[in-house]
Amino acid sequence: MRGELVVEPLSDVQGRLAPGAEFVAVSASGRNLGPLRVTAHRPFKGVALLRFAGIEDRDAAETLREASLEIDRGAVPPAAEGSFYYFELVGCRCYDKTAGDLGQVVRLSEDGGGHILWLEEGATVLPVPLVKQFLVNVDVAAGRIDLDLPPGLIETCRSTS
């Protein structure tokens, strides 16, 4: 009613959603919706209710439905040793122990049961569950992810549509 937006925080950085924090809103299709500055923040049932400068009513808030709030990469603290941020995986090439080069990560999604790496190679799309049991090595600096996928997963999940 007053332009508040429900935001699912994906950051564990203290103060990331505090008043004064600045983001770029990006639509689900990847279109830049412009800069946003937080004017008010309050927790609500495991999510955050945020108000932004210039977003004063329900109609203005509706323009941001399903948008992601992004920050400049330079504002992201380095990942802990041996870990990575999901955004760092986009652009990495994936290699299976048996099948070899599977393609490049073009996006990640969360389906309620876990995260999915979406790999593309030409017209071929392959969704791969991002689970510890399948990960052999992740080297974001080299842009490489090594996997050991179970037999049949590639053939079952690969799509050319």
Q: Where are the domains of the chain?
A: 5-75, 86-157
CA angle 18, 25, 17 (to 5 degrees): 10
CA angle 71, 107, 150 (to 5 degrees): 135
Query: Any idea which residue has 């332009």 for tokens?
Result: 3
Q: Are domains 5-75 and 86-157 of this chain identical in fold?
A: no
What confidence score (pLDDT) does residue 2 get? 77
> What does the alpha-carbon distance between residue 131 and residue 150 come to, in Å, rounded to a whole number?
12
* Mean pLDDT (10-residue bins), the chain, 161 residues: 83 86 88 93 90 92 90 83 86 96 91 86 93 93 96 90 65
What confidence score (pLDDT) does residue 76 get? 83
Rounded to the nearest angstrom, the gap between the alpha carbon of residue 161 and the centroid of all alpha carbons in its chain is 24
What confidence score (pLDDT) does residue 78 get? 84
Q: Return the structure tokens found at 115.
A: 């995260």
May I ask the CATH architecture of the domain 5-75? Beta Barrel (2.40)
> What does the alpha-carbon distance between residue 147 and residue 124 come to, in Å, rounded to a whole number?
18
Rounded to the nearest angstrom, the gap between the alpha carbon of residue 119 and the centroid of all alpha carbons in its chain is 14
> What does the alpha-carbon distance between residue 48 and residue 44 come to, in Å, rounded to a whole number?
5
> What does the alpha-carbon distance between residue 77 and residue 15 come to, in Å, rounded to a whole number?
13
**Topology at the third CATH level for domain 86-157:** SH3 type barrels. (2.30.30)
